[in-house]
Amino acid sequence: MSTPPADPPFERALLEALPRIRGYVAALAAGGPGAQDADDLLQDVAAKALRYRHAYDEGRALVPWLRRTALHVVLDARRAAARRPAGLEPDAEPVAPSEPSPAESGDELAGLLDRLDPLPREILLRFHRDGWSVARIAASHGLPEGTVKSHLHRARRRLRELPGAPTS
């Protein structure tokens, strides 16, 4: 009887990390229009991570990279749901898809971020854009980790509540 080949290190690390980000994916996906099942989104995160594994820097932690990937997967799913006419099945082709250009999306996001208070905005950007851990952000700002987590939660909630924020 032969033994199955060992999983490559990236795949093994990915399998170990996915349960750790499931709650994060569920929190991102919850509530918004076009909300999807967290397990479906987690599967999409895993697929995207495998597809873009070449972009992962093995010298950095995998979980923050997966969180950023998850954020993009959820935002992509929301944009797709927003383009889909009411009553159209998810597998059907959307009518006249129109996606904002990266510049438009970036300008809209920058405008929304500018409406946050400076510290929560800084913490949100360090976590999502730069991939910093909560511990690293806490150390750099001289704050307890729980405070950093609170700022992250409130900043995300504030972004969702802002007028002009995407509803999807």
> For 123-142, what is each residue's pLDDT tens digit?
888 888 888 889 999 998 89
What is the reported pTM? 0.47
- Sequence ranges of the chain with CATH classification 1.10.10.10: 100-168
Structure tokens at 151: 């700022």
d(CA 168, CA 30): 11
Query: Are the CB atoms for 21 and 63 separated by under 8 Å?
Result: yes
Distance between start and end Cα atoms, the chain: 52
> For 38-57, what is each residue's pLDDT tens digit?
888 889 889 998 988 888 88
User: Residue 103 carries which side chain, given as an amino acid letter?
Assistant: A
Give the pLDDT score at 148: 92
Half-sphere exposure of 8 (CA within 13 A, CB side): 4
CATH of domain 100-168: 1.10.10.10
